Structure 1
Amino acid sequence: MITPYSISALILAYLCGSIPTAVWIGMAFYGVDVREYGSGNAGATNTFRVLGKKAGIPVMLIDILKGWTATNLAYFIGTSVTGGPHSNYISYQLALGIAAVMGHLFPVFAGFRGGKGIATLFGMVLAVNTSAALLCIIVFVIVLMITRYVSLSSIMGGFTYLTGVTFFYNKYTNDLIVIFGMCICLLILVTHQKNIERLLKGKESKVNLFKRKKVTNQA
């Protein structure tokens, strides 16, 4: 049901997602706009690549919080707007989360030049299906520790979510969540096209998990 409250919530979710964490932290503490280095994206992955874990971890956590907070705006709006039935409520959660992801991709506060939305997308997943999201974390961390490729870890985490909601946590989900999982995989493939190309060529940058990396340009 479309109401002034639901429209306002969607706008608020978009604005929440638009907070350019990587840009603001990079400029405030390092005097660096991460969009001018590395892959040119204003996200956690490029922040890890350009500035190291001391900057990358806060950016990642805040970006996750953006997605989680925006999605959970549904709790504050209540069933009078979401329509009451659980399926309608889930639909509205997804709509709010997607608005936040779009805000991260095209942030109004940073000239519409954002990141790839993976951390914000994960925050959305965490709010919708916590169990499946935790499985994604485990896979992400394992792949990252083995390969040190954040991009590959994100891709594997995204496909793990679809696998989880389809086979392991389907008792707590519905067809809409499975379709959403498919959309996540498609979005990840689209936004990581260049990363996939570099991975196949062996040219993808690895994250240094233990030291601050010097700022360098990546073609």
Structure 2
Amino acid sequence: MKGATHAVLAGAVVVAFVIGSVNPATIAARLLGKDLAASGSGNPGATNAGRVLGRKWGVLVGILDVLKGLVPTFFAGQWFGAHAAYAVGLAAILGHIWSPFLRGRGGKGVATTLGAVLGVHPWVAGIVLAVFVVAVVLTRWVAAGSIFAALALLVTAAVVLAGRAPGDVWTGLWLIGVALVVLWRHQKNVVGWWRQRHLH
């Protein structure tokens, strides 16, 4: 029975990766005769979709990217438990970032990460979303919102590991892992901000 369960879980991880690999931004752009890779920032994510295709398309893409992380993670949590949901959620995030359908390219993973966290720990997602919104409002820069949201994940992970919030060691480590992935994907934004700050 355990072998069968492990096989099903492995299949769920693969399916989550494939779901994450489907890129709504690129699909929408092609339907509208646009090429995101050659437009705006060149990133196949919700922010660039909104910039190139229009705000409504950006919102739609963002919602779909959230669902890519939310749906597989939520059902994995219901069927196999939180620890299995962590693996499935991470697979969806990595699929979005390194989509085989885009030859290894992909978005920065922010919306899909939010969906994955929402699928297993809604209270954490609420904190992250609030930090994101406040940061974007104050800076008027989506990348800054994403960076501060990832930092909020790190702080939340520290609170969980200290035993001050629901979760176990694996919860804390998973939150740290997905936060570091988002920060790594925004390293160019951080470097650009740092250079701009010190050149003026």
**Distance in 1 separating the partners of 2:143 and 2:179:** 13
Distance 1:201 1:51 in 2: 30
Residue 91 of structure 2 is matched in structure 1 by 99
Q: Which residue of 2 aligns with 1:179?
A: 173
More helix by share: 2
The answer for the alignment partner of 2:120 in structure 1 is 128
Partner Cα separation in structure 1 for residue 9 and residue 138 of structure 2? 43
Superposed CA deviations along residues 133-188 of structure 1, whole A, max 9, x for unmatched, are 11111111111112111111001011112323433894311111111222233212
Superposition map of 1:1-219 within 5 A: 3-28=6-31, 30-75=32-77, 78=79, 82=80, 89-167=81-159, 170-202=164-196
Matched position secondary structure for 1:72: helix
Q: What SS is found at the alignment partner of 1:39?
A: coil
The secondary structure found in structure 1 opposite 2:165 is helix
Structure 2 counterpart of 1:18, one-letter code: S
Q: What is the deviation of 1:189?
A: 2.4
TM-score (norm 1): 0.79
Give me the whole-angstrom Cα distance separating, in 1, the residues matched to 2:63 and 2:128. 15
Unaligned runs of 5+ in 2: none
Task: Confirm or deny: 8 A CA contact 2:77 2:120 kept in the other structure.
Answer: no
Letter in 2 for 1:185: A
Indicate conservation of the 8 Å contact 1:165/1:173, yes or no: no
- Matches of 2:132 and 2:7 in 1, distance apart? 39
Q: With structure 2 as the length reference, what TM-score do the two structures score?
A: 0.86
Is the deviation greater in 137-146 or in 182-191? 182-191
Measured on the aligned residues, the alpha-carbon RMSD in Å equals 2.1
> SS of the residue aligned with 1:172?
coil
Change (3 A) 1:134 1:175: same
In the aligned structure 2, how far is the partner of 1:200 from the partner of 1:75? 39
Between the two proteins, the alignment pairs up a number of residues equal to: 192
Work out the CA distance in 2 between the residues paired with 1:153 and 1:187: 15
Q: Which has the higher contact order (CA 8 A, sep 6+)?
A: 1
1-side partners of 2:170 and 2:108: how far apart?
23
Q: Distance in 2 between matches of 1:197 and 1:40?
A: 18
Return 5+ residue gaps in structure 1 as ranges.
83-88, 204-219
